[in-house]
Amino acid sequence: MTQNTISSLTKEQILDIYNQPLIDLLFEASKVHRLHHDPKKVQVSTLLSIKTGGCPEDCGYCPQAARYHTDIEKNDLMSCSQVKAQALRAKASGSSRLCLGAAWRNVKDDADFEQVLEMVKTVNSTGLEVCCTLGMLTESQAKRLADAGLYAYNHNLDSGEEYYKEIISTRGYEDRLKTIENVRTAGVTVCSGGIIGMGESAEDRCSMLATYAAMETPPESIPINALVAVEGTPLEEQQPVTIWEMLRMIATTRLVLPTSVIRLSAGRTGMTEEGQAMCYMAGAGSIFAGDKLLTTPNPDVNKDMELFKILGITPSAPYEKGEQPVVKDEPVILNTHPEEKVKWSRPGHKIERNEAKRIRKNNP
Ligand code: SAM
Ligand code: DTB
Ligand code: SF4
């Protein structure tokens, strides 16, 4: 299968792939995985929350949204030296990429962004691949991150366009697509995926995959997260997805987007080792390792490495799939892009579930 034939798939055609007997879906996905990827290599990233909590957005799944009452430790932006120390730890533990996450709606042309650019340069100098996930981004901000040595930018569509409106009201699907386009234009690789288990239908999951498949260049990396239902968020009562749903989603993603690397992301603490092994067989080619994601727990890295050994998998080295970006020196001038006065949208549609949660919290 080529990327061209794949990109003409409609949501309905993807749904047919998704709904086929699981035994066939897994077999087909495993075959396609081996055509495009080495099944014995898995890329390992470490996540680092460089600015935690206090986010103004209303993403219904997120423990870092200021408006929900979750039990997380909030932190201001980390220093460069703290990030360097964590990068060296991640490298020593076998990760090939460090992903820096900030609880921001969007990047602003301010001193914090200058500090993040320094962090990117510092992590690049350790030889690790650098990824950031900082919210919405303009083209010039993406370019500055590229010049600082950024290898990947994570910005998720999270779900299909229709269901997205049930989960987030403070920013639009169009804004997400625009950010992804800005990252692509800057020459940074795109990491973009979604979450299952938020109450969405199979159609919603397939609608998200159809959006990715229709892109001229689909994301190099597609994280598939199982919702971590955090107490205090509007989605706290969601039942965990079963391993069978996770496998169906990974295998369908594998068949629809054969060249992308699928990241088995949040939700691994609720999976057995056998279940995770099946995810690798179905097409997952990367994970987040380390005992913490951004704010929630993740399996022990030693356990992951034991499973790799059992399966005959080795973690990939940095830059096996692309060149290390060369850091370009640039003068540091704040607010240099007045022509780029971007107005990100605030759609503000009503989400009953978020409203109900807020009312309950205010009147216990
Ligand atoms: N603030 C930035 C943004 O929203 O793009 C970056 C950080 S944000 C936490 C990155 C992604 O983490 C989200 O798009 C979502 O897919 C995922 N995520 C957040 N909370 C989650 C949860 N409870 N369960 C699963 N995935 C989650
Ligand atoms: C992604 O798709 N999943 C990661 C990463 N990109 C940034 C984040 C998962 C966060 C899970 C909830 C938490 O730990 O706060
Ligand atoms: Fe903020 Fe990102 Fe969490 Fe949404 S997902 S509330 S933008 S940190």
Q: Distance between CA 12 and CA 178 in Å, rounded?
A: 25
Annotation marks residue 263 as catalytic: yes
Closest C-alpha residue for ligand 3 atom 7: 105
Per cent of the chain over pLDDT 90 is 88
250 touches 205 (CB < 8 A): no
Catalytic entry in 80, 99, 132, 279 = 99
Place of tokens 């009201």: 169
Annotation marks residue 59 as catalytic: yes
Average pLDDT over residues 107-118: 98
Annotation marks residue 144 as catalytic: no
pLDDT for 219 beyond 50:
yes
Catalytic entry in 80, 97, 131, 171 = 131
* Conformation bin of residue 197: beta by default, left when phi > 0, alpha when psi is -120 to 50: left
Which residues are CB-contacts of 358 (< 8 A; sequence separation ≥ 6)?
A: 67
According to DSSP, the residues that pair with 189 across neighbouring strands are 152
For the chain, the domains span: 3-318
Q: Distances in Å between the alpha carbon of 66 and those of 114, 123, 266?
A: 24, 29, 21
Is the shortest distance between the CB of 285 and ligand 3 below 6 Å? no
- 222 band by pLDDT with thresholds 50, 70 and 90: very high
Place of tokens 């097409």: 283
Among 50, 52, 59, 179, the mutation site with the greatest number of ligand 3 atoms within 8 A of its Cβ is: 59
Q: Is 262 helix (H, G, I), strand (E, B) or coil?
A: strand
Closest ligand by atom to 287 CA: 2
Average pLDDT over residues 162-183: 97
pLDDT for 1 beyond 90:
no
Average pLDDT over residues 92-107: 97
pLDDT for 312 beyond 80:
yes
Catalytic entry in 62, 132, 206, 279 = 62
H or E element that contains 50: strand 41-51
Is the shortest distance between the CB of 48 and ligand 1 below 6 Å? no
For residue 103, the model assigns a pLDDT of 98
Average pLDDT over residues 163-176: 96
- 341 band by pLDDT with thresholds 50, 70 and 90: low
Is the shortest distance between the CB of 103 and ligand 3 below 6 Å? yes
Average pLDDT of the chain is: 93
The answer to which of 93-107, 130-144, 275-289, 328-342 has the lowest mean pLDDT is: 328-342
Sign, CA dihedral 236-238-241-242, equals positive
Q: Distance between CA 353 and CA 233 in Å, rounded?
A: 10
Catalytic entry in 80, 191, 206, 279 = 191
pLDDT for 242 beyond 80:
yes
Return the number of other C-beta atoms located less than 10 Å from residue 240's C-beta: 15
CA of 195 to the centre of ligand 2 (A): 9
Q: Distance between CA 280 and CA 193 in Å, rounded?
A: 17
**How far is residue 320 CA from its own chain's centroid?**
20
For residue 127, the model assigns a pLDDT of 98
For the domain 3-318, what is the CATH superfamily, name and number? Aldolase class I (3.20.20.70)
Annotation marks residue 89 as catalytic: no
CA of 274 to the centre of ligand 3 (A): 31
Q: Is 71 helix (H, G, I), strand (E, B) or coil?
A: coil
Q: Distance between CA 279 and CA 63 in Å, rounded?
A: 26
The answer to which of 128-142, 238-252, 347-361 has the lowest mean pLDDT is: 347-361
DSSP structural state of residue 145:
H
191 touches 161 (CB < 8 A): no
Per cent of the chain over pLDDT 70 is 91
Please indicate whether residue 348 or residue 236 has the higher confidence score (pLDDT). Answer: 236
For residue 8, the model assigns a pLDDT of 73
Closest ligand by atom to 195 CA: 1
68 touches 232 (CB < 8 A): yes
176 touches 215 (CB < 8 A): no
Q: Distances in Å between the alpha carbon of 116 and those of 81, 94, 103, 126, 142?
A: 12, 23, 13, 16, 12
pLDDT for 350 beyond 80:
no
pLDDT for 357 beyond 70:
no
The residue count for the chain: 364
For residue 346, the model assigns a pLDDT of 80
pTM for the model stands at 0.94
* Segment 30-78, tens digit of pLDDT: 999 999 999 999 999 999 999 999 999 999 999 999 999 999 999 999 9
Is the shortest distance between the CB of 52 and ligand 2 below 6 Å? no
The DSSP secondary structure of 72-139, one letter per residue, reads ---B-PPPHHHHHHHHHHHHHTT-SEEEEEE--SB--SSHHHHHHHHHHHHHHHTT-EEEEE-SB--H
Is the shortest distance between the CB of 293 and ligand 3 below 6 Å? no
